[in-house]
Structure 1
Amino acid sequence: MTARSIRGVAAAALAGTMAMAVASCSTPSDGKGGTAAGGKDSAVVGIAYEPETLSPLLGYGKDGNSKIFDGLLTHDAGMKLRPALAAKLPEVSADGKTYTYTLRDGVTFSDGKPFTADDVVFTYETILDEKTNNASKAELDALDKVEKKDARTVVFHLKYPYAPFAERTVLPIAPKHVAEKQDVNSGPFTTHPIGTGPYVLTKWSKGEKLVFKANPHYWGGAPKVKNFTMAIIKDDDVRATRLRSGDLDGAILPPNLAATFKSDQDKKTLAAKTFDYRNVTLPTANKVTGDRAVRQALDLAVDREAMVKGILDGAGKPAYGPVPTDSPWFAKGTERPHDLDKAKKILDDAGWKPGSDGVRVKDGQRASFTLWYLSGDKLRQEHALAFASDAKKAGIEAKVESGTWEAIEPNMKNDAVLAGGGSPADPDFDQYLLLHSSLAGDGFNNMSRYKNDTVDKALVDARRTDDVTKRRDAYNTVQRELVKDPAYVFLTHIDHLYVVKDQWKDLTTQVEPHDHGLASGPWWNVEDWQPAK
């Protein structure tokens, strides 16, 4: 087999990502009380979202940095791939369809059992099993089979040369000797995981906290932070209050709340560049948002610059699609200006005429729909209200409602949602799940139930080649098509802000995906933290 190093393939696949790190945080006993922070070997951080599962077989940690688990590869601060459970970066065949990984020696799971090639094969085969409820299964569409060559060698065979496949192997590896004996979807492994990672989960109080202790036998070296707690605090204001009271050592906060800590001498604010966007879903089943003219008008009526300035306090940028404007994957010329007059003309020409109350009407149908946002999320609330205000100026009524995801999800077929997404690893990771018609209505994938044959073809073409030029052309096609036929109204790309105690030195952040919290922020590498004094 003629082989080429993954370094060349990774360089091509990552050519369009943002490779930067922002350089620039210990803890009550249970992460809940109001006492001052504890010793130098402990930390408590406040996060906004709680995982539904801790099983990588069901999607947990698929972007890396899961704390409990390791993947074959991981990312460094600059988002470059480096070995983890693999001893080195993989060798890739000349046709781009075979990836060979040599595994690291001497690695054990936290229960003392050895890590082997069997665990890798089991993990990937289980995820692909039709009985496994993994919403990200489509991300491994290119994988034909995975085989154990010997105890320390695993070979992946692809159906087609999928350029970012190595990025998929940051996916955490589950222990076969534990997980195969259980129901993959509901067994105890989903809440009591065993992995090879730097930390061991000791307690998960749903809706409250996840408590970890350092794994003294971690192959990468025992962490200095011996006790680590992630306090689950969905309300932004409450998270800020608990940080201010000394209950937390660090937290993710929206810009307006992060700004209130500027004069606090013992805290620092760290910013993480992201691919994280906020958008409004436009369900095609709805008689209003399903009308292309309404979608086009809303896309022009929103004032993105005002949202960046007023909501984000400048910590972000306007979003015209899933790709940030400063990414090499962004299609120049697809920026949409705020043009209320043009929005009104599109609606006039399509037969949507102003009614007596200012809301447009067509064939007896009022241009009105419900827009949901996640309760307790100030950024989503403010985006939703700003969107509704801009829509009203064009004669479209967006009735804003808040609720939990349990309340929102049953209504997603007909109601709009202030949603979010974004992945920096590769354009395929977010766009295929967001836009391909085969995933319409599949949970939180393709929430607008969008169907566009040109977009479908371009998405498939882009993932079935490792030619960078062809991939860029395909993603340019997707972005230009979204100008003509919006699937969503994209509003902003958001920088994540973290306020942390000034107790640890040389902290960094990565370029982050939408799914932030457990593995993002300054604690993306908490196992490497060193005391400042």
Structure 2
Amino acid sequence: MRLTVQARPSMPRFFAIVLLAVATMSLCVSCTRSSPQASLRRTQSWTIPGVLRIGVRQEPDTLNPLLAQQEIDVDISMFWAGYLIGIDDRNHPLPELAVAVPSLENGGISKDGRTIVYRLRHGVRWHDGAPFTADDVIFTWRAVMNADNPVPSRVGYELIQSIERRSDDTVIVRLRRPYAPFVSIFLSVSASYPYCVLPKHMLARYHDVNHAAFNTMPLGTGPYRVVRYEPHNLIRFEANAGYWRGRPRLKQIDMRIVPNDNTLATLMRTHELDLYFRVPHIVAKTLRGREGVTIVSSPFTRYVDIGFNTRSDLLSDVRVRRAIALATDKRALNVKVALGADIITDSDQPRFSWAHADNLPQYAYDPRRATALLEAAGWHLGADGVRRKGGSALRLNLAGASGDSVSIQARELLQAQWRQVGVDSDIKSYPSNILFASLPDGGVEMTGHYDAVLESFANGADPDESVLFECRWQPPAGENVYRFCDRALDQAEEAALRSNVEATRKAAYAQVQNILASELPILPLWFERYDFAVNSNLRNFVPAHVASPFWNTWMWQI
């Protein structure tokens, strides 16, 4: 998704990011579980016991994850919504509304991989007191598949041949064919596009959910209720006394929407906020050592990339895309905008994942090779230092998020780097809820109104990202906003999705990554480490590394 405590079960093979747990041990800077001594720290004068004040930069485009295009929408859902399966800070699947994670070992997945049985948690109630049942799960699947609901992805959901209610507490799903990532996708937090379970009794009356009041005042089964939403300003949550895990430890959460990092940092310094998340590393540096403020750093499966519109007249020639890759100094960018803290990558798969391929085509910074490629593609240098071909200047529309200090600085640096080889660019900034909006809402990416875009994407627990690159998932069907189409990639993606054998999937994903590195619909730059500025009185804040950091909001305490 673009810019979502019980005993831990063993991890089934389909949760493919198991190696991340090992990597996290060495990469996480100050991501530790709170100790018993933590509760002995004195309460700061600015702390309001039981009330947590959070600052976020991004404006949500909806509070309904079914229609969500941004990570912030999923992050918000972690306070009020319920999923069948969650994922914890050790990258283990966590039963939520399902009492167990279906697997071959526990009989939840049939030997042929086509039947999955979900046993649901008994006694869970929606915020209005209505019981949660199998009917809600089935209704949610139908809402995803409703062609009039502009969901960002139906990957996996479209493979369901039938879904039936055996009882209030049991759902049986039958697939058209085996699909390895299914359990990590279906109504699961760990999906690239996480969809929570929706209340049938509230939404079944509508033909579609596009204009339902639910999208701004949702009703869920989570630890907190949304009681107030002021767009561009505030989302207020109150504790759900009937939460199935027990009453959460916070009474109230105020999430303030402040679209500027400098303002958010000021509010943290003046102790008007208790939690500021996804803090740019440069800003986090200024907050380190501040009285009452702790910086928590944690690696995340979210990569920053330059996305190319492969149908743009300027970028349809792969030689131009390769030249731009060679003209991009990733390490210099990382040092300047992230203090070198993020993890340079050559792939959309992190190096700590089993799916990452070795020996991929590389694009080390090389302006001379970039120049040669541009010349070979017919783009010749003009007197003004900008390349031209057939009377057209090689001047790119370089899009990105407004209010994001890292994005703005990085694009300015890219502009300067590319200009050295004769590629000019106009920096265009849009609010994130416009940049990443759906096609009906005129999203910049979805409508293709850009040449290149600085963006980020959060992987799910499974390496599948077919919705970003397969031919069939170009808008309006899916999230292939690059308009990229390669039949060999499609075949490799589908081979990986059909098999539960890791070696088979690894070979297929190696082919996918080689095609992506050669054809360059995107240029991956780095995987992020998230910085969080936290009131030192906040307890039990331990970020997860997949989908959303906020896996245990019911445990937070201040």
TM-score (norm 2): 0.86
Which string of whole-angstrom CA distances, capped at 9 and with x for unpartnered residues, describes residues 282-301 of structure 1?
21222211111100111111
After the TM superposition, which of the residue ranges 170-179 and 115-124 deviates more from structure 2? 170-179
1:97 aligns with 2:114: yes
**Corresponding residue for residue 456 of structure 2:** 420
Q: Which residue of 2 aligns with 1:107?
A: 124
Q: Please give the per-residue CA displacement for 1:238-275, whole angstroms capped at 9, x wherever unaligned.
A: 11111112111010210111101112131110112112
Tell me whether 1:289 sits opposite 2:315 in the alignment: yes
Which residue of structure 1 lines up, in the alignment, with residue 205 of structure 2? 181
**1:471 is matched with which residue?**
505
C-alpha contact 1:372 1:401 (8 A) present in aligned 2: yes
**1:239 corresponds to:** 264
Name 1:312's counterpart in structure 2: 338
Query: Closer, same or farther in 2 for the Cα pair 1:65/1:272, shift >3 Å?
Result: farther
The residue aligned with 2:530 is 496
Q: What CA deviation, in whole Å up to 9, does each residue of 1:151-210 have, x standing for no partner? A: 111011112211121112324211111111234221112222111111111001111111
**Cα distance, 1:96 vs. partner?**
0.8
Are the counterparts in 1 of residues 117 and 170 from structure 2 also a CA contact under 8 Å? yes
Q: Deviations for 1:446-495, whole angstroms, at most 9, x for unmatched residues?
A: 22211122222222222222221121111111111122211022222221
Q: How many residues align?
A: 508
Question: 1:341, CA displacement in angstroms?
Answer: 1.8
Instruction: Name the aligned partner's letter for residue 204 of structure 1.
Output: Y
Alignment partner of 1:141: what SS? helix
What is residue 225 of structure 2 aligned with on the other side? 200
Distance, in Å, in 1 between the alignment partners of 2:540 and 2:250 is 15
Give 1:503 deviation, angstroms. 0.4
| Partner residue, 1:81 | 93
Q: For residues 135 and 36 of structure 1, do their structure 2 counterparts lie closer, same or farther at Cα, with a shift above 3 Å needed?
A: farther
Separation in structure 1 between the aligned mates of residue 371 and residue 303 of structure 2, nearest angstrom: 26
| Shift in alpha-carbon separation, 1:7–1:92, aligned structure 2, 3 A | farther
Deviation at 1:38, TM superposition (A): 4.5
Q: Helix, strand or coil: the match of 1:74?
A: strand
SS in 2 for 1:13: coil
Q: Structure 2: how far apart are the matches of 1:224 and 1:373?
A: 38
1:337 counterpart residue number = 364
C-alpha displacement of 1:407: 6.2
Is the alpha carbon distance of 1:9 and 1:214 closer, same or farther for their aligned partners in structure 2, counting shifts above 3 Å? closer
| Runs (5+) with no aligned partner, structure 1 | 1-5, 26-34, 514-518
Mapped partners of 1:488, 1:138: distance in 2: 20
- Determine the C-alpha separation between the residues in 1 that align with 2:75 and 2:228: 23
Distance 2:415 2:181 in 1: 38
Aligned to 1:54: 63
Q: CA deviation at 1:391?
A: 1.2
Letter matched to residue 53 of structure 1: T
For residues 302 and 17 of structure 2, what CA distance do their matches in structure 1 show? 19
Distance (whole Å) between structure 2 residues aligned to residue 39 and residue 303 of structure 1: 46
Query: How is 1:124-523 mapped onto 2 (pairs within 5 angstroms)?
Result: 124-168=141-185, 169-170=187-188, 171-182=195-206, 183-252=208-277, 253-334=279-360, 335-405=362-432, 408=435, 409-410=443-444, 412-428=448-464, 431-442=465-476, 445-513=479-547, 519-520=548-549, 523=550
Amino acid corresponding to residue 97 of structure 1 in structure 2: R
Distance 1:72 1:474 in 2: 29
Contact (CA 8 Å) 2:295, 2:533: kept in 1 or not? yes
Letter in 1 for 2:200: K
Give the Cα separation in 2 of the matches to 1:235 and 1:63: 18
CA distance in 1, matches of 2:381, 2:16: 48
- Of 16, 30, 36, which aligns to 1:14? 16
Gap change, CA 1:143 and 1:425, over 3 Å in 2: same
- The CA deviation at 1:15 is 4.3
2:11 touches 2:93 (CA, 8 Å); kept in 1? no
The offset of 1:56, in angstroms, is: 4.0
CA offset at residue 440 of structure 1?
2.1
Report what 1:41 is aligned to: 50
User: What amino acid does structure 2 have at the position aligned with 1:174?
Assistant: L
**Inter-partner Cα distance in structure 1 for 2:154 and 2:68:** 8
- Matches of 1:435 and 1:209, distance apart in 2: 36
Asked if the contact 1:13–1:468 (Cα under 8 Å) also holds between the matched residues in 2, the reply is: no
The alignment status of 1:529 with 2:546, answered yes or no, reads no
Alignment-mate amino acid for residue 310 of structure 1: K
Question: In structure 1, how many angstroms separate the alpha carbons of the residues matched to 2:491 and 2:9?
Answer: 29
Gaps of 5+ in 2: 1-7, 35-43, 103-107, 189-194, 436-442
Rounded to whole Å, the distance in 1 between the matches of 2:394 and 2:67 is 39
Distance 1:104 1:81, change over 3 A: same
- 1:256 is paired with a residue whose SS is helix
Q: How far is the alpha carbon of 1:396 from its aligned partner?
A: 1.0
Local SS of the residue matching 1:276: strand
Matched-pair contact (CA < 8 Å) for 1:317–1:494: yes
Contact 1:307 1:492 in 2 (8 A): no
Find the residue that maps to 2:553 and give its secondary structure: helix
Q: Is the 8 A contact 1:64 1:75 kept in 2?
A: no
Given residue 179 of structure 1, which amino acid in structure 2 is its aligned partner? L
Say if 2:276 and 2:534, in contact at 8 Å, map to a contact too: yes
User: Does the 8 Å contact 2:156/2:179 carry over to 1?
Assistant: no
Residues 68 and 505 of structure 1, relative CA distance in 2, 3 Å threshold: closer
Match of 1:117 among 120, 129, 134: 134
Structure 1 residues 328 and 475: CA distance shift in structure 2, 3 A: same
Deviation at 1:141, TM superposition (A): 3.0
Alignment partners' CA distance in 1, 2:335 and 2:460 = 24
Asked whether the equivalents of residues 97 and 160 of structure 1 are also in contact (C-alpha less than 8 Å), the reply is yes
Q: Report SS of the residue matched to 1:495.
A: strand
Aligned residues of 2:9 and 2:94 also touching (Cα < 8 A)? no
* Equivalent residue number for residue 516 of structure 1: none
Secondary structure at the counterpart of residue 285 of structure 2:
helix
Structure 2 letter corresponding to 1:49? Q
Alpha-carbon contact 2:114-2:177 (below 8 Å) kept: yes
Could you tell me which amino acid in structure 1 is paired with residue 333 of structure 2?
A: M
Taking structure 1 as reference, are residues 490 and 56 closer, same or farther at Cα in structure 2, changes over 3 Å only? closer
Q: Distance in 2 between matches of 1:392 and 1:261?
A: 34
Distance 2:525 2:425 in 1: 15
The answer as to 2:88 corresponding to 1:71 is no
User: How far off is 1:63 after superposition?
Assistant: 8.5
